[in-house]
Amino acid sequence: MFKSLTLVTLLSISFSSITLADTFTLSSKDIAEGEFMAKAQEFNGFGCSGGDLSPQLAWSGAPEGTKSFAITAYDPDAPTGSGWWHWQIVNIPHTVNEIAAGAGSAKKGSAPEGSVQIANDFGYRGFGGACPPEGHGIHHYRFTVHALSVEKLELPQEASGALTGYMINANTIATSTIESLYKRDK
């Protein structure tokens, strides 16, 4: 009995170590799980006056077979019937594991080389910050990094957020998400 228990314990410890070593994680200096985002991540327009700054993001533990990454920022609480795409960036090289704050700026061109920013639901390519309707309550913003099994997603020039989301999900090996919050009071 003791030998069986010891063997099970050793196997559990070994398996746990392997599982922890292979965990795909996302972190940020600018946003945190379940915490409210700063004014820096608020949109500048549509009645909002924030910094419209995409957050710094870093990831580690990408699974074997990862050939590229994609990042999405999505608000499922937007009163549209389909949520709101704030950011989709694809074809991030597999050698990249961090993007700086502001990398989603459509004006600065500081996204990783070779990557492509998709038009957000504000209508332009790049990051568009949080801007929920005043008095609409707390919105949840899901920043997700996707490890992809392909080097490049083949998308049309004017791909929609839905098509891009479909292609990302069809080629995803693993994901890691930080869900941050934002609200605007009346």
Structural domains of the chain sorted by starting position, each given as residue range(s) with its CATH number in brackets: 25-182 (3.90.280.10)
pLDDT of residue 109: 81
Question: What pLDDT, on the 0 to 100 scale, is given for residue 22?
Answer: 61
Which position has the higher pLDDT, 13 or 28?
Answer: 28
Those residues whose C-beta lies under 8 Å from the C-beta of residue 170, and which sit 6 or more positions away, are none
Structure token pair of residue 167:
């292609």
Q: Count how many residues are written for the chain.
A: 186
**pLDDT digit string, tens, across residues 162-179:** 999 999 999 999 999 999
Q: Sorting pLDDT into bands at 50, 70 and 90, what band is 161?
A: very high
121-140 pLDDT per residue, tens: 999 999 999 999 999 999 99
pTM score? 0.87
| Of the candidates 112, 170, 168, 111, the residue with the CA atom closest to the CA atom of residue 144 | 168
The set of residues, in sequence order, having a beta carbon less than 8 Å from that of 88 and lying 6+ positions away, is 70, 71, 72, 73, 117, 118, 120, 161, 164, 165, 168
Q: How far apart are CA 23 and CA 25, in angstroms?
A: 6
45-59, 105-119, 149-163: least confidently modelled range = 105-119
